Chain A
Amino acid sequence: MQPSPHTISLLLADARLPSGGHAQSSGVEPALLAGMPVADVPAFLRARARTTGMVDAGTAVLARHAALDCIPVAPIERAWAARTPSRAIRDASKDLGRGLLRLAGRIWPEVRSSLDDLDESPPRPLVLGAIAAHTGIDAQSLVRLTVYDDMACAVAALLKLEPGDPAHGVAMVLEACSSIEPHVSAVSSITSAHQIPAASAPQSEAWSEAHALTTRRLFRA
């Protein structure tokens, strides 16, 4: 018996999944270190979901198609990189992708073969897309999963960086995730790289670049 695709989605969204996510803050630590007020975190999350979240979600959708159709993913990675101008953010995504692929390769060995035209550190959305293809996760669920995981990671980090009510953090995750609902249908139905949303977040990218050079930080990015 195979686990249901829904169960796989739950597994991938679980913060306890041992793939290295606990050392990431989805850009929250860079923002707070740069002086962004804590009160702005909900707006920061909505902006991140709408920009880098949509880039990643669109990339994951295409990577899923590529794995299903057995076509190379390298052009998708290039399209993602072109839409992710900060090297620090690309590196963070590749760390996450490498950790996730390391785990996925143990559970679903075929995931690795779908990404074999990339190096050992594919960006996170490409690994998520390949896992989705091999475990039966549909494109809309994949879009929501890609955004949810990033938002949940941000709020888990926030609670370590700034004292706060954990229930408030949960509300923030739900608010940011629901803010992208109007776009889920469009992003989940793209079929070629030029359709990947190209919405960048220059201020957040600059904060991440500065963060990568600090010597006192709790999180990788």
Chain B
Amino acid sequence: MPENTPTRALRLGVAGPVGTGKSSLIATVCRSLADELRLGVITNDIYTDEDARFLRSAGVLEPERIRAVETGACPHTAIRDDITTNLLAAEDLERDFAPLDVVLIESGGDNLTATFSPALVDAQIFVLDVAGGGDVARKGGPGIGRADLLVVNKTDLAPYVGVDVPQMVADASVAREGRAVLALSRSDAASVAALRAWVLAVLDGHRRGTHVPQDPGPMAPHFHADEEHPDGGFVHSHDEKSVDQHQANAPHSHAQR
């Protein structure tokens, strides 16, 4: 767990594949909360400060409150296996602009398996977009399955890419066993308000000490093909608490669909 001191900001991670709108989502959060919260942003680009520059130019926050860290071409490592650079950047930002309410940490665009270590962030958002295809949410993965919030972004594009947003959200909700899913478009005020309310609720939990960082790490619930099975297979999860057909940690094969 991050060392939790009373002055420490809520550290909120934003992960997801390349081009799904992570920077844009952060800009949206900043725009809707900058008047009432003290915010800072850390970006993890492949090529240093591209995302930081985008956010600075968006004018949603003082440029000094947006910092970039290098990831050595390993955005995955920098948020999970060796979080040193991000931790130090978060501590510096919190010290230089004390007190901060929220530090948003944007991962470099990676693949579906990249999630934040619970030692780096208190909560994390995983971002997909409709343009990536309506079936992505169903494919699961640790971020999709277990992030604190799954955002299905760019819903305004759905008619142009032939994606059924309610179906995609329903698929995601199943993959997440009911955890929060939000269909978002920055041009849809109601969805932005919902995102804002979610951030405020997590911050409130963080301040009260009731929010516990969790690790999306283990495999998400997924489908096992089984020709003998009446439904052609079964869905299972590796959640420790779930009662299942096999032990969560026991070796087993995952048939490709």
Contacts and interface: CB of A to CB of B under 8 A. Distances in A.
A18 B88 CA distance: 13
A25 B53 CA distance: 23
B71 interface: yes
B88 A99 contact: yes
Contacts of A218: 46-48, 70-73
Contacts of A219: 70, 72-73
Contacts of B71: 22-23, 218
A60 to B, nearest CB: 20
A20 B91 CA distance: 15
A217 B70 contact: yes
A19 B72 CA distance: 13
Secondary structure of the A contact surface, majority rule? loop
Interface stretch (B18-26, B76-84, B153-161, B235-243): B76-84
A114 interface: no
Interface residues on A, range: 20 to 34
**Which residue among B50, B72, B78, B87 has the maximum number of chain A CB atoms within 10 Å of its CB?**
B72
A160 interface: yes
**Which residue among B46, B71, B83, B85 has the maximum number of chain A CB atoms within 10 Å of its CB?**
B85
Interface residues of B, number: 21
A168 interface: no
B85 to A, nearest CB: 5
Contacts of A19: 82, 84
Nearest to A16: B81
A102 B47 contact: no
Contact of A23 (B49, B50, B70, B81): B70
A220 B70 CA distance: 6
B243 to A, nearest CB: 35
Given A22-B72, A219-B70, A220-B70, 15 more contacts: A18-B82, A19-B84, A20-B82, A21-B82, A22-B71, A22-B77, A23-B72, A95-B85, A99-B84, A99-B88, A102-B88, A103-B84, A215-B48, A218-B47, A218-B72
| 6 pairs of A and B residues whose beta carbons are closest in the complex | A20-B84, A99-B84, A18-B82, A160-B73, A23-B72, A22-B72
Interface of B: 46-50, 53, 69-74, 77-78, 81-85, 87-88
Interface of A: 16-25, 95, 98-99, 102-103, 157, 160, 215-220
